[in-house]
Structure 1
Amino acid sequence: MNIENVRKDFPILDQQVNGKELVYLDTSATSQTPTPVIDAMTAYYKEYNSNVHRGVHTLGTKATDGYEKARMKVRSFINAKRYEEIIFTRGTTAALNLVARSFGDMVIEPGDEIVVTEMEHHANIVPWQELAKRKQAELKFIPMEADGTFTMENVEATIGEKTKIVAITHVSNVLGTINDIKEIARIARKNDAYISVDGAQAVPHMSVDVQDLDVDFYAFSGHKMLGPTGIGVLYGKSELLDDMEPIEYGGDMIDFVDLRTSTWTDLPVKFEAGTPMIAEAIGLARAIDYIEEIGPQTILGYEQELVDYALERMRSMEGIEIYGPDKRAGLITFNLSDVHPHDLATALDSEGIAVRAGHHCAQPLMKWLQVSSTARASFYIYNTKEEIDVFIEGLKRTKEFFSYEF
């Protein structure tokens, strides 16, 4: 991978922030968008902006073709068996809410157990909390080790005969922990439980094969994988999606409407009420092309170089607390002693360095870590070791500034 050529595709990086060259280390929140993706979406609006599916005119046909080709692109990218198993949503949050509200309401009964973890993003814990309330079910949590990982012994001990659904993240957005989804799915299957996976932090950074993982549902977002905001994907096994009821109504998802009753059309449109995210789907397809042109394994290897380099440099500093395991995805969550994460992020921003600060939509995990908030630096294919050096120097200057006694 030629990093200079890659960086040329991201015009947003060629700017100054507060008089300094921008160093963008917040990809885990939202990745930047390369020119080919922007161009693909612009072409839709300039050349064939039209609604999909129902129109028979030329622009409508071209828009429908672009939208459905995007679905096929996603199917191939994650190796789903059928294109009907790919549902476009507004994002990971909407996808997980769909699973909890539709599938969860269908299969959960009073006394059943829903197994989650304390490392989940709020989007993969709150919907299950609400489901448990609606159905008088019990939430159980897989115990974590001190470094933010799970032992399979604890997974085995938590998932039992009362477990109906296991809901877990593939990659933690705070700790960078990469969970063994295939093995967890095997344990769930052994107990006749279903497994739903939050893949928002995994799909952009590594190869994901949903058939090999043998998951029932898998969700991710376009804006974390070089694509546009406002679109995500829910993969679900077709035999499960067939039995599920939609939770939004109107538009193409309708088959027949009478005065008092209605019926729904087939998958995948059954779950895509209203005008879909057409330009966004086309942009997502082009983002997938971009990732595949570089290669998921190349991306994973390059990110590992970056995170290993950053960890080595950060661990040489005094007064820094780093959270998560040694083997991790391309992000580092940390605290600098005696400096609030928001103050740290503000100080770094004054030097053109963008990091995230707060609870990262993971308040239960913050409680487990015994902190109120943390700072997070996250890396992607457009970052460099030179930028990490700038980041480290920014940390040092911030530490010195807040240590100074006035």
Structure 2
Amino acid sequence: MNKLLRKIGSVLLPAAVISLFLAGCWDQVEIEDRALVLGLSIDTAPPEKAAEEEQVTHLKNTEMPKEMISITAQIAVPGRVPLGPGSGGSQDGKISPVWVVTVLGHSLDDAMNNLQQQIADPRYLVHLRVIVISQDIARGRMDDLDDYLRRNPEVRRRTWLLVSEGRASQFMDVKPPLQRVPTLYVLSMMEKAVTSGKFPPDYIGTYWSADSKWGQSAYLPYVALRNKENILINGLAYFSQGKMINTTQPLEIGAFMAVEGMDPGGYSTLFKTKELGMVMTKINERYTKARSFIRDGKPVLSFDINFEGDLDEHYNGKKPADSTARLHEIEREFERNAKGVIRRLIRQTQKDHADIFGMGEIIRAHHPEYWRQHIHNKSDWEELYGSITVDFNLTLHLRRVGLKKT
């Protein structure tokens, strides 16, 4: 009897173990059967567009808010998305690798349901890497947008959220020569801007983190379209009280990164000196040390900003930049100009009550007793930020001047 039980057990046990591995793919969905959304744009839609909305989530006689949005999705077409140089193409690129679909809705989730009703395969956002929103959305409906994106587990925290100068939908139709998939071109552009020191790593997760902090205001990349296919990083779009309040100039991105001490350096500056004419300097490294004080009952912050850079160009000058003294003259003139740019940026954000630098987090960390007494919510710090004192010192060291005429 025992021998029989052992034989039965020796057969059933391996069968049970093997069955565990056989059940691993019971709910698989082939990638060709998925509607992979690569990029998404969100614009406002006029109220008269309500007549064009499909009755997918509600009937026409249902009372709904008048505000509507229009979303445009870039969906990858299986077999057409290039996987490398020379791959995925067909007929000299005449066939688009993405399918662009536009739908309407009263909310983002409502619009996404309308989108699903128009496509055969189930939509997936796991490969969503770029979301472009218009200024109208950024100035008014960010809370509704954030609610859906935060709740959706498919949305990556390293997705880029961009604010567009005009309508966001135009970025879904752009056809850059360097990349057949527009969304992948925008993604590559932003990632390379980070590695080259042109823009901070401000993903959607970073934006949410800053927005939730009492001592910091959020910001997003501000992009514009030039000549129908050139995408320009046009500055920072920064927020106050959960809404976009203003934008910066492209050069002021470098000023912002200087105050934050973000490496590597990446911006070049063209300016005129008194004796040497026009010069162009390129920043390679940034280092910033911040200090904070409480003076006369108000916070005071001081920043020591250090740059290391190169002399890239010198022209339209009667004297050559061929001595240490003349290099020092260039450094001092750069410092004077850079101080003006940084000072204007700080004053503008104070006027807008948007602490994109996170100075409030410095005060909260180093002066917790003052923070507990005076700051009870985020709006308290945003109001106080407009009147604090900010001092800074700036130093440039030119490490390389290249070959010069002798």
Task: Give the TM-score, by structure 1 length.
Answer: 0.20
Return the structure number with greater relative CO, CA threshold 8 A, min gap 6: 1
Higher strand fraction: Structure 1 or Structure 2? 2
Question: TM-score of the superposition, structure 2-length normalised?
Answer: 0.20
